[in-house]
Structures are given as C-alpha cells and as structure tokens.
Amino acid sequence: MTDKAFQDFYPDEFAHCYGCGRLNEAGLQIKSYWDGEESVCRYTPEPFFTGGFPGYFYGGLISSLIDCHSAATASAAKLRADGFALGEKPLSRFVTASLKIDFLKPTPMGKIIDLRSRVLEIKSRKIIVSTTLSAEDEIRAKGEAIMVQLPENR
Amino acid sequence: MTDKAFQDFYPDEFAHCYGCGRLNEAGLQIKSYWDGEESVCRYTPEPFFTGGFPGYFYGGLISSLIDCHSAATASAAKLRADGFALGEKPLSRFVTASLKIDFLKPTPMGKIIDLRSRVLEIKSRKIIVSTTLSAEDEIRAKGEAIMVQLPENR
C-alpha cells in the first residue's frame, strides 16, 4: 500500500508535464489516486485560469485536467492489469491519441474540482478512459480519452 | 479593414479567458486573424509548457489552443455571415459544447505553432469549426469543435 499518487511513480524522464509532472515546478502538479475501481483527482485552480468571463473556468484547463488524469489512470490501470501494485515497478507512460470533451455546464472558479475516471477498455497498448469533471456535486464536463502506451525502450 | 485580431473585439466582459482574453494579464493572449476562408493563429509556447518529457508539447495546451482559436473563429464567422466586417460591431461570444482532438504526432517545443481553422457548418447559434495544429510544416494535431453562441442579453 502507498499514499503516493500515480504521478509520483512516473520515471523521471516522463515527469516534466506542465499538467501532471512532479518535476515541472511551474506546472499544475495534479495528483491521481485509486478509489476502488475509479481513479480520483481533486484540484483547485489558480484564480487566473478563468474562461471568457470571470467566475468560470477556462475550457482549455478542463481539457487539460481530463487529459492528464486520464493518462495517469491508464498507466495505473495497466500496472494493475499486469498484476503489480503501485510502487512495485515504475509506471509505463501513456500518451493521448484522441480526446473528446463534452462541456455540459459552466464550471465555477474557487471550488474544488473533482475528477473521476473509469477504464472502459484495455487492449494491448491501448486503453480507453472515461472521465467526469464535477464541482459542487454536479457534473460539468465529460471526457473520453484513447491512451497509447509508449514503448519501454525507445 | 483592420489589423486587429478577433479577440480584440470581444466585449470586455468576455475578455478574461486564460487562453485568449486580452484582459487576462497572466494568460496566453493568443490572437486569431482571417487568411481568406481560413483563420490563423501563430503561437510560441513558454518553455515550461512541456509534456511528459522535455522537448515536446503538453497535450493540454494543444487542446487549449485549438479550443480558444475555434471559439474566436466561430465569433468572427458569425459576424461575417451576418454581413458585418470586424470592428463594425462587437463580436458575439461562443462557448464550447464539444471538443474532439486527435493527436497525430508529437509537437516540438521552441517552434512556431501554426493553427488553421475552417468553418464546416453555421446553423443558427451553432457553428462547427475544424482546425489543424502544425509545427515545422507538419500537422501535429487536428481538432473539431462545436461552438454555441451565448445569448446577447443575459
């Protein structure tokens, strides 16, 4: 067992992402964890990440959070499917092949954002991840990402 | 005629977006222009916007650029479809209903990013915009956005 996040197990060379890299000091450094079959990530945005009008979230950040959390979920799901617990070996790194976001309602600033993902399919190096983004207990956006595992020895 | 960008004509109340708002001092302040039937936006990212490994772009930023440029393109296309030139009246503001991004190749850092959009459909308040994101003359990502016009008097 570990209380570390998925992203804490990325090899150093893959830990530079602006959204989720623990080595990117200017970045968002989001953190994802298992909660049963779902993965969760909680995040409160900096006040400058507004959308077109103040008080609401910038759509690009919604896409970014869903993207990074989906990638981490794919990595952790692959590790689990291979029979390992977090920390037993470094995570594989997945990159996004395709990302689809449906924006359902505006997302208010100043609230905790709750991301929850489920793995829909694991097929060799491809994993499909479905995500909801909520604030104040209402789903504000939904995402589906097709993630592809990078080769281990490049 | 004007050499101002689409985003320079957003009403002040809609000009706070982190990606494209001229009033967001911490933001990216991207700028979009007509080039015939296409709209273009050129952007060079700050060095901290790396993806998982250094030297390549953060996927979230690719989604963000396509999203903001598509929204501005929808606004400018609506104005043109209504028979006005840029500057003759304030732009309507469009928000994203749905965004689909296909990531085709890694996008290198330190290069000029070239976004080009075309309007696929204008139907009442809904506009569908198709976008390519290129670097070094190669398409790195493609996007399709369904944009919806905000009511003028809310």
Q: Average the pLDDT over A97-107 and give the result.
A: 96
> Does the pLDDT at position B154 exceed 70?
no
Given strand B38-43, what is the order of strands in its sheet? A33-35, A38-43, A113-123, A126-135, A138-149, A94-103, B94-103, B138-149, B126-135, B113-123, B38-43, B33-35
Any CB–CB contact under 8 A between A21 and chain B? yes
CB contact under 8 A, A19 and B58: yes
CB contact under 8 A, A102 and B101: no
Domains annotated on chain A, with CATH:
34-149 (3.10.129.10)
What number is the ipTM of this complex? 0.92
Please state, in angstroms and rounded to a whole number, the distance separating the CA atoms of residues A30 and A83: 25
Torsion, CA B5, CA B8, CA B9, CA B10, rounded to 10: 120
- Please tell me the predicted confidence (pLDDT) of residue A95: 93
* Residues of A in Cβ contact (< 8 Å) with B98: 100-103
CB contact under 8 A, A64 and B67: no
Tokens matching residue B115: 């976004």
Residue B72: what residue type? A
- Are the C-beta atoms of B42 and B68 separated by less than 8 Å? no
* Residues of B in Cβ contact (< 8 Å) with A54: 16
| Parallel/antiparallel/unpaired status of strands B38-43 and B33-35 | antiparallel
Tokens matching residue B65: 């650029």
* Residues of A in Cβ contact (< 8 Å) with B52: 10, 14-17, 20-21, 71, 93, 95
Query: A11: which residues sit within 8 A by CB, 6+ positions away?
Result: A90, A91, A93
Residue with tokens 């080595």: A23
pLDDT tens, B122-132? 998 999 999 99
pLDDT tens, A51-69? 877 788 888 999 999 999 9
pTM: 0.94
- Please tell me the predicted confidence (pLDDT) of residue B13: 87
Q: What is the crossing angle of helices A59-81 and B59-81, to 10°?
A: 140
- Please tell me the predicted confidence (pLDDT) of residue B152: 75
* Residues of A in Cβ contact (< 8 Å) with B75: none
Across A52-56, A91-95, B1-5, B139-143, least confident range = B1-5
pLDDT > 70 fraction of chain B, expressed in percent and rounded: 97
- Please tell me the predicted confidence (pLDDT) of residue B87: 92
CB contact under 8 A, A103 and B93: no
pLDDT tens, B46-102? 888 888 777 888 889 999 999 999 999 999 999 999 999 999 988 999 999 999 999
* Residues of B in Cβ contact (< 8 Å) with A7: none
CB contact under 8 A, A63 and B63: yes
pLDDT tens, A71-99? 999 999 999 999 999 999 889 999 999 99
- Are the C-beta atoms of A6 and A72 separated by less than 8 Å? yes
Of B24, B64, B99, nearest to A48 by CB-CB distance is B24
Q: What proportions of chain A, in percent to the nearest 5, are helix, strand and coil?
A: 20, 35, 45
pLDDT tens, A2-44? 689 999 999 998 899 999 999 999 999 999 999 999 999 999 9
> Does the pLDDT at position B18 exceed 80?
yes
